[in-house]
Amino acid sequence: MVHKALGPGFIESFYENALCIELENRGIVYERQKSIVVTYCDQPVGEHRLDLLVERRAVVELKAVKDLDAIHFSVIRSYMKAVNTETGLLLNFATMPLTIKRVGREKY
């Protein structure tokens, strides 16, 4: 709905704003720009913000790039590991049609 209405060409924050409006209109619980602490050996090593965490189960990473690269998949998997979720979505609003990639966590 958001991509169809706005089309490609805007920066990621425009799509994030619109997607949050759509989620609210549908009554879907989400956290926007959720701050997460990344740890190593149970010690904090840094902080990152997720674009969206939906229903506390899915990390949604928004992009507005020509093509998704392998690094985009690695990054979302790292976020998923940090918040202990099994599902992620990469949405690339710069493509026509909208690129949607479901991402599962890597098993170690």
β-bridge pairing 87-92 and 58-63: parallel
Residue 71 has pLDDT above 90, yes or no: yes
Q: How many CB atoms lie within 10 A of CB 37?
A: 11
* Percent above pLDDT 90 for the chain: 93
Q: Which two tokens stand for residue 20?
A: 């949050």
The residues spanned by each domain of the chain are 2-104
Residue 108 has pLDDT above 70, yes or no: no
pLDDT of residue 28: 98
**This model's pTM is above 0.75:** yes
**CATH architecture of the domain covering 2-104:** Alpha-Beta Complex (3.90)
